[in-house]
Amino acid sequence: MNQRAPLIIFALVMAAIPFIPGVPPFWIVLLNNIGLAALVAMGLVLLTGVGGLTSFGQAAFCGFGAYTTAVLTTAYGFSPWLTLPLSLLVSGIAAVLLGIVTVRLSGHYLPLGTIAWGIGLFYLFSKLEFLGRNDGISGIPPLSIGSFRMLDPGTIYFAIWVAVLVSALLTMNLLDSRTGRAIRALRRGHIAGEAFGVQTPRAKLLVFIYAAVLAGLSGWLYAHFQRAANPTPFGAQAGIEYLFIAVVGGAGYVWGAVLGAGIVVILKEILQSYLPYIFGGQSQLETIVFGILLVVLLQFAPTGVWPWLMSRLPIKSGRKTPDTSLPLAARERAPASAAVLLQIEKARKQFGGVIAVNDVSFDVRSREIVALIGPNGAGKSTTFNLITGVLTTTGGTISVLGHKVDNAPPQEVVKLGVARTFQHVKLVPDMTVLENVAIGAHLRGFAGAISSMFRLDRADEAKLLAEAARQIERVGLGDQIDQLAGSLSLGQQRIVEIARALCVDPLLLLLDEPAAGLRHMEKQRLAALLRQLRDGGMSVLLVEHDMGFVMDLADRVVVLDFGTKIAEGTPDAIKTNPDVIKAYLGATA
């Protein structure tokens, strides 16, 4: 339980603050504001820092939360507690609608789109009659428990900080789970995750909704704290400020949101109260200083204050080693009689006028290692992408165990038991080896986001991590299991990719240049592993440039040149094939 200790200490300190004699009431107001901002920023941490989706429009979701409760409590006499789920629901529904439109957008479109609808919604709030136009809605009833009404800042303080702590806990639980790994892999692109069955658009929408619901919660609390709602705090400026908070604190860290909110809210307060004394009565000076500080901060600490702080603390987070004895249900194997695992018939891929793969046909049978070789640009990786559904074919058919997969999405292909590695390593560098490998077992777990948040996924999760640990042990990286994937050598990262692919429990393993960057001994160990896998019933299709490695290992070799198959046969036959020699050496032998 020592992982929970800092959280409990923090909660106790926060709970004690209002009872310290002599704490000015104004401090409590500040802490309330910090808590409200931290909730929104926490959503942004998940959305932007972890998921890589930038939103400038979170303030609008606060608006949905605040206005929902404002309208329902003042005009319809609802109890504030009854409006809490409704506020969250309205924010969530708004997020679904906006999310469907925006989350599929790549890179910079998303932030721009969020700025645009952030402003649009702000104007909507300030023009709608039933929301009170620019004046907003006042006279919102306070939160109350029985006859105890939370009228002053010192009492709603508890509601706000309980919300912050519970949200932080749930967010951290979510991140440390099967769904969390899928979310954390989003930032590095979608191909790797999808190759292991992650439904990327769904994962993106999930974090979008999650962030919006946290913002809605903040808005709901805000409305009952201020007892009024008007459009100003939900405008574009506020949306920008929330993102600023997340970046200052450390966009990738849940506690960064709380820290960032503290820094920014207090800094703003200091600037607002002292700058006029220094520079005379000029207004808005704090915006100038604020803007300049932001630019300066980015130049010195683009990752934020929290990681900088953590790297200076002597605390090392202890990690439990997974219990490798927990079994994970194996894939249902097709009857051994299925002789042909992968059948490629006249597969074709054109990019405009370039024919990358030109009517290539070959097959991979069970318990066989087939090597796909050819000079650079021969179409080997493109063939891999066609098989795994990353690219769609222009013509021809590809089938796995009799199922046609030539235009199936990657998530469907992996379900059939085809796992792959990538020529350019696609690991998440700031996740540990264990976590990276566990992504491979994504389809073999069942826990969803909600059960992860409430820690109901632990049995499922333990099995996934046990399987990941077993595969890491199997490829010989047991000593590196808790290191960050980005800290390994490139050769070791390729091996991690193999372990991740093995977590699928595949029938067919596609390896794209697995031996590149390995030393001699490591190559021998890899070859031994692949033979052992084959003898255990798996088939391997590999692309590789190291001829010694290929000829020694493969049962059969297929040679591509300029997208066309020029030879196929046993290693010995290929070695003496005149066409192959010509393709490699460029001259008639």
Partner 1 sequence: MNTTIMLFLLQDGITNGAIYALLGLALVLVFAVTRVILIPQGEFVTYGALSYAMLATGQVPGTAKLAAAMGVVAFGLDLFDARRSLRLKRVLRAFALNIALPAMILALTYGLAGPKTPIGVNIALSLLIVAAIGLFLYRIAFQPIAHTSVLVLLIASVGCHLALQGLGLVFFGAEGLRGPALSNTALTIGPLRFTGQSLAVYGLTIAFIVALWLFFGFTLMGKALRATAVNRLGARLIGIRTTLSGQIAFLLASLIGAISGILIVPITTLYYDTGFLIGLKGFIAAIIGGLVSYPLTAIAALLVGSVEAFSSFYASNFKEVIVFTLILPVLVLRSLAAPAVEEEKD
Output 273 or 321, the one with its CB closest to partner 1. Answer: 273
> Residue 435 is encoded by which pair of tokens?
């976590």
274 binds partner 1 (CB under 8 A): no
Scanning the structure block, which residue is given the tokens 């020529």? 423
In order of 453, 472, 508, the CA distances from 533 in angstroms are: 37, 14, 10
Which of the ranges 86-94, 102-110, 217-225, 323-331 carries the binding residues for partner 1, by CB under 8 A?
102-110
170-199 positions binding partner 1, by CB under 8 A: 187-191
202 binds partner 1 (CB under 8 A): no
DSSP-assigned letters across all residues of 54-105: --S-HHHHHHHHHHHHHHHHHHS---HHHHHHHHHHHHHHHHHHHHHHHTTS
- Rounded to whole angstroms, how far apart are CA atoms 303 and 305? 7
- Count of residues engaged in binding partner 1, rule: CB under 8 A: 50
127 binds partner 1 (CB under 8 A): yes
Output 98 or 472, the one with its CB closest to partner 1. Answer: 98
301 binds partner 1 (CB under 8 A): no
Among 101, 528, 573, 585, binds partner 1 (CB under 8 A): 101
In order of 146, 174, 501, the CA distances from 73 in angstroms are: 17, 32, 54
Among 6, 85, 291, 402, binds partner 1 (CB under 8 A): 291
Task: Give the residue among 589, 570, 417 at the shortest CA–CA distance from 507.
Answer: 417
239-268 positions binding partner 1, by CB under 8 A: 240, 243-244, 247
439 binds partner 1 (CB under 8 A): no
Q: Within 13 Å of residue 121, how many CA atoms lie on the same side as its CB?
A: 28
Output 7 or 119, the one with its CB closest to partner 1. Answer: 119
Which 8-state DSSP code applies to residue 432? B
58 binds partner 1 (CB under 8 A): no
**Those residues with Cβ within 8 angstroms of residue 348's Cβ, 6 or more apart along the chain or in another chain:** 355, 357, 358, 359, 360, 393, 394, 395, 396
- Rounded to whole angstroms, how far apart are CA atoms 338 and 539? 12
Task: Calculate ∠ Cα 416-420-425, nearest 5°.
Answer: 155
Among 43, 63, 92, 113, binds partner 1 (CB under 8 A): 113
573 binds partner 1 (CB under 8 A): no
Could you tell me the smallest distance in angstroms from the CB atom of residue 241 to partner 1? 9
Task: Give the residue among 521, 514, 466, 470 at the shortest CA–CA distance from 494.
Answer: 514
Could you tell me the smallest distance in angstroms from the CB atom of residue 182 to partner 1? 17
548 binds partner 1 (CB under 8 A): no
119 binds partner 1 (CB under 8 A): yes
Task: Give the residue among 90, 87, 114 at the shortest CA–CA distance from 103.
Answer: 114
Output 66 or 121, the one with its CB closest to partner 1. Answer: 121
Among 61, 64, 67, 117, binds partner 1 (CB under 8 A): 117
Output 146 or 353, the one with its CB closest to partner 1. Answer: 353
DSSP-assigned letters across all residues of 253-285: -HHHHHHHHHHHHHHHHHHHHHHHHHH-S-TTH
Residues that bind partner 1 (CB under 8 A): 48, 52, 54, 101-102, 104-109, 111-113, 115-117, 119-121, 123-124, 127, 187-191, 236, 240, 243-244, 247, 282-295, 298-299, 302
